[in-house]
Structure 1
Amino acid sequence: MLELRWFGSARVARDQTQMRFDTRKATALLAYVSVAEAPVRRDALCELLWPALDRAHARAALRRTLSVAAAGVPELAVEGDGIALADRGVRCDVREFRVLLASDDAADWRRAADLATGEFLGGFALRDAPAFEQWQAGVGATLRDDLSLVLGMLATDAVRSGRPADALGYARRRVEVDPLAEPAYVDLIRILAAQGDRSGAFAAYRALTEVLDTELGITPLAGTTALLDAIRVGEPGARARAAAAPEGALGAAAASESSASRGSRGSRADEDAVDAALAAVENRLAAVDDTTRQVVEALAVLDRAADSELVRVVAGRTADETDAALAAAERAGLVAPGSGGGETPYRVSHRLVGVASRAALPLTRERLLNARAAETLARLAEPGAATAERIGQHFAASGRDADAAVWFVSAAEAYGRAGDHAAAVEALRSAQTTGRNTVAVHVALATALVRTGRVTEAMTALGRAADLAGDDPAVLGAARDAVTFAEVSGDREAVIALRSHYADLLHSAGRDAEAREQQQRWAAEFAALEGDLRGA
């Protein structure tokens, strides 16, 4: 059995005997490939581990490192351009942690917490590979967030199960793991107060106040202060919002919407009414069985009307369970029939049902539901632009940024074909947010921006494309097309700006003669135009 331990100090072992490699990059390669959710391309590894080398030398270095790693780890599979790690005969603590985290069983949560014994790749560094260090820091932050959430779920489970000592232990560990997370302190304060340790609760609040002020320059949220006030006056069981959804924040947002519809400013009475409505929704959710609640959560994540089959797949239940749960949720006033043709779709009955359902979801469960939604919608024969963008949003919410970026680009292409260039811009911005900062995306963004009249932003996008690709014909072609489009549209200021920018790109690409030729032609056109205007 091959064991890969990435929590704490990196450790690779076979049959409990530790293995060592003569290069740290072999360990880095194993860590990256084993944590990845899909085969990794050779060029991606070259850019990650040997950024200072040209492609040929980087590939040669990769071949040597693969040879070193594969000699001790034959489970490392190299197929064509993809590199992956086999599942059979391999135990990777990060992979196992993710699987356990997605479970609904508290015993699995405990196993996940036991696996996370330290920082991801603690003490490991590659000083000549900054992209690897950025990846390492990003994965470490995500795992730390996930551990914080699972410790919060374990603390809640221990409270409900009547295990106060366990609850306190989980809450304290969560604060240690995530010292800047206010929800972690809120859990600790509540548990200490419930156990009668008011001085401990006050000390936890002081620690929170100090760390927020020192590290972030902010004060605790209103809900946290309200919780402490309730404890101070002897009401440790008083209802107060968790920091993740602080008291008043949701109410204020809902009250603003309500007041806007009436054309007036919100009042405290509005906020109290929405808080009361939210409390009623939470009570209804607590009163239904687990299957019904899971079906409502699926609809909340989908965030629009959906037929029972889509709800079934996202919720992970059988058809009979889904139908029965939808009927029960409808009786409870949590869902309602939606509008649309074909099979009767369903939707949450009110925005607050969606808010309450999503707020109660652990992050890992929310990611799982979004992944199911994205994968199911992606199986549609020909998803249109809006559906492609929706798929991208679900993939992004599931933490699968690479998949999200692919769908955002697909949506942008479809929007462009339909002439909706403003929507294409937004889809391409989303693609960039999820890591797709390629030359092609910058060029496509510039093209869409020109067509919406946003010339300055278009030039910025072209400039970034040029920084990435230099004299790539696609960049220069897009710049030339932008000039042509502006000329046809008759926007004189845009023409002048885009021509100048195109000339700058030509100069940057070393095509000085072509740049001078274009500038001379444009100058002649401008002079002729000026002469015509004077003659008129």
Structure 2
Amino acid sequence: MSVRMVGSRAKTVDYESGEGTGTASVLVVQTLPAFAVDGAADARPLSRAAQRLVTYLALRDRPVRRAEVAHALWADSSEEHGAASLRTTLWRIGRVHRDLVQATAERLSLSDTAAVDVQAASSLARSLASADAELPDDSEPVIGLLSTDLLPDWYDDWLFVFRERWRQLRLHALECLAGRLGEAGRFSEAIDAALTAVDAEPLRESAHRCLIRVHLLEGNRGEAVRAYRALAELLHTELGVRPSPGVRALLA
């Protein structure tokens, strides 16, 4: 699946092969769902500190001041210790992937030959919301990608905003994809996309609304009523509220 990267390192990357279309060798930094660096001849793993540094730069997608990086990654250390830890980590990254990080006296960034999977995935997710964009011939790998969390086993505070941004983006994309597939008569795929959104966030009414609408488009009113009742019971049990008027209106 080829998608267009966004940001200063724009290029087309194939998720299956990790190959770029440029002439330079592309290192793909993977964060969905686990960290990896693909495309390098040296397969030695990076240390945890190195992984965190590479991920921080990958998610920022712009040159970042050294002091900012050191403060974010070594927040519990003194300024001097954080700066020393940063220098050591950069040296260790360079021993494994010499061309992965660009460093100046003031700022750090990923190399121009490095691509980031979540940046490409975000570009794909945004494109699915456009009515003019073509639907994928095979939605299964797209839905699989949009079901994936960003580094769910990491608990760094600085990661929260990036994780939440990706979660919201992928949920919106799944809902848009479900609606467009349903309107195209691809009901099985549409239901899969809607159920994936519901599974990712069970209390998200817009995801349930997509599922109910797809059932109605297919002519399965009984399935739509069952999905509505499941939502109503869940909201009553968890939040003590009823489905919104917009959801109730679907079955009026």
Fold-level similarity (TM above 0.5): yes
Please tell me the residue identity of whatever aligns with 1:106. Answer: E
- For 2:101 and 2:241, locate their aligned partners in 1 and report how far apart those are by CA, in whole Å: 47
> What corresponds to 1:63 in structure 2?
87
2:35 is aligned with 1:35: no
Match of 1:141 among 164, 167, 172: 164
- 1:7–1:117 CA contact under 8 A, matched in 2: no
Cα distance in 2 between the residues matched to 1:37 and 1:181: 30
d(CA) in 2 for partners of 1:75, 1:140: 23
- Displacement of 1:154 in angstroms is 1.3
Pick the aligned partner of 2:33 from 2, 5, 8. 8
Relative to structure 1, is the Cα distance of residues 113 and 58 closer, same or farther in structure 2, using a 3 angstrom cutoff? same
* CA distance in structure 2 between the partners assigned to 1:71 and 1:114 by the alignment: 34
**Which position in structure 2 is the counterpart of 1:92?**
116
From 168, 177, 180, the equivalent of 2:191 is 168
Contact residue 10 and residue 124 of structure 1 kept, 8 A: no
CA distance in 1, matches of 2:67, 2:90: 13
Deviation at 1:32, TM superposition (A): 1.1
**Which one-letter code corresponds to 1:43 in the other structure?**
A
Cα deviation, 1:136-171, whole Å, max 9, x if unaligned, reads 222222111111111122122212222122211111
Partner secondary structure for residue 160 of structure 2: helix
Which residue of 96, 102, 105 corresponds with 1:72? 96
> 1:115 is aligned with what amino acid?
L
Relative contact order (alpha carbons < 8 A, sep ≥ 6): 1 or 2 greater?
A: 2
Distance 1:170 1:222 in 2: 23
Equivalence map 1:133-532=2 (5 Å): 133-228=156-251, 230=252
Aligned: 1:25 with 2:54 = no
CA 1:142 to 1:79, structure 2 compared with 1: closer, same or farther past 3 Å? same
Larger helix share, 1 or 2: 1
Structure 1: state its 5+ residue gaps: 126-132, 231-536
Question: In the alignment, what sits opposite 1:115?
Answer: 145
On the 8 A contact 1:8/1:117 being kept in 2, the answer is no
Structure 2 vs 1, CA of residues 18 and 221 (structure 1 numbering), >3 Å: closer, same or farther?
farther
Give 1:48 shift: 1.2
Instruction: Give secondary structure in 2 for the equivalent of 1:61.
Output: helix
Query: Relative to structure 1, is the Cα distance of residues 210 and 96 closer, same or farther in structure 2, using a 3 angstrom cutoff?
Result: same
Kindly tell me: are residues 182 and 17 of structure 1, through their superposed partners in 2, closer, same or farther at Cα, counting changes over 3 Å? farther
The CA deviation at 1:26 is 1.0
Distance change in 2, residues 1:184/1:94 (3 Å): same
Aligned residues of 2:146 and 2:174 also touching (Cα < 8 A): no
| TM-aligned CA deviation for residue 71 of structure 1 | 2.2
CA distance in 2, matches of 1:65, 1:144: 29
Identify if the C-alpha distance between structure 1 residues 25 and 206 changes in structure 2 by more than 3 Å, giving closer, same or farther. farther
How big is the shift at 1:84? 0.5
Question: Does the 8 Å CA contact 2:30/2:117 hold for their aligned counterparts?
Answer: yes
* Structure with more strand by fraction: 2
Amino acid across the alignment from 2:178: A
SS of 1:173 mapped into structure 2? helix
Report the alpha carbon displacement of residue 118 of structure 1 after superposing the two structures with TM: 2.0
Counterpart amino acid of 1:45? V
Q: Which of 70, 73, 89 is 1:46 aligned to?
A: 70
Which residue of structure 1 lines up, in the alignment, with residue 134 of structure 2? 106
Q: Decide whether aligned partners of structure 1 residues 140 and 214 sit closer, same or farther in structure 2, where only a CA change above 3 A counts.
A: farther
Q: Measure, in 1, the Cα distance between the counterparts of 2:135 and 2:49.
A: 36
Letter of the 2:218 counterpart: Q
CA distance in 1 between partners of 2:29 and 2:245 (Å): 44
> Which letter maps to 1:123?
D
Write the letter of the residue equivalent to 1:143.
Answer: W
Cα deviation digits, residues 26-77 of structure 1 (max 9, x gap): 1111111011132111111122111121111110011111111232232200
Give the conservation status (yes or no) of the 8 Å contact 2:179–2:214.
no
In 2, are the aligned partners of 1:159 and 1:167 still within 8 Å (CA)? yes
Aligned-partner Cα distance in 2 for 1:108–1:165? 14
User: Counterpart of 1:106 in 2: which secondary structure?
Assistant: coil
Unpaired segments ≥5 residues, structure 2:
1-25
Q: Is the CA contact (8 Å cut-off) linking 1:100 and 1:108 kept in structure 2?
A: no
User: How far has the Cα of 1:2 moved from its partner?
Assistant: 1.4
The alpha-carbon deviation at position 102 of structure 1 amounts to 3.5
Indicate conservation of the 8 Å contact 2:28/2:39, yes or no: yes
Aligned length: 220
The amino acid across from 1:28 in the alignment is R
- Deviation track 1:361-407 (CA, whole Å, cap 9, x = no partner) reads xxxxxxxxxxxxxxxxxxxxxxxxxxxxxxxxxxxxxxxxxxxxxxx
* TM-score of the pair, normalised by structure 2: 0.78
Q: Percent identity?
A: 29
